[in-house]
Amino acid sequence: MHTGMRKGPEIWLRGPVTPPEPVPPEPAHAHAAARRFSWVGTHGGAGVSTLAAVYGGHDCGRSWPGPGDPPSVLLVARTHAAGLDTVAGAVEIFRRGRAPQGLDLDAVVLVADAPGRLPRPLAQRVRALEAVIDVYRVPWVPSWRLGELGHPPRETEALARLTGAAR
């Protein structure tokens, strides 16, 4: 059989060749252990408690994580102008090294403040945030207003994978 490839030198082994020891297969989740997060709201009503209930993790409210809380922080804000202002300020606190020592800012989570698309000026501000940090968007979920939390919305699959809440 001619493959068109150059032949390399033949290699001869002397002595017995032992097969490698069988290694038991690892479970699929062994390398993808869910990381724990602290949800930190940058303003009141950001949705921290709901996100912690749906995606798991520690609900810090509007406070920094304490000594026993996960040091990986997800900053949460609504997508209205005031929410985008406060989250941009909180990102700046981390950027300047003024956050409490030992905390790690992993991402920003923006929760829709109303159904539908964002007005252009707000969408531009979101893009500016996305230029400096990972941003996850959570759409308007009508059932959450009624306390029916259930599973994460389909549009938040990336956030669900990040937090380990993926189905």
- Supply the pLDDT for residue 11: 46
What's the pTM?
0.78
Domain count, the chain: 1
CA separation for the pair 120, 141 (Å, rounded): 21
With respect to residue 17, please indicate whether it lies within any of the assigned structural domains: no
- Supply the pLDDT for residue 31: 41
Containing domain of residue 126, as a range? 35-163
For residue 24 the two structure tokens come to 């038991």
- Supply the pLDDT for residue 166: 75
With respect to residue 11, please indicate whether it lies within any of the assigned structural domains: no
In a 13 Å sphere around the CA of 140, the CA atoms on its Cβ side amount to: 9
With respect to residue 93, please indicate whether it lies within any of the assigned structural domains: yes
With respect to residue 28, please indicate whether it lies within any of the assigned structural domains: no
CA separation for the pair 34, 24 (Å, rounded): 22
With respect to residue 104, please indicate whether it lies within any of the assigned structural domains: yes
- Supply the pLDDT for residue 167: 60
- Supply the CATH number for residue 51's domain: 3.40.50
With respect to residue 125, please indicate whether it lies within any of the assigned structural domains: yes
Residue ranges in the chain whose pLDDT is less than 70: 1-35, 167
End-to-end CA distance of the chain: 49
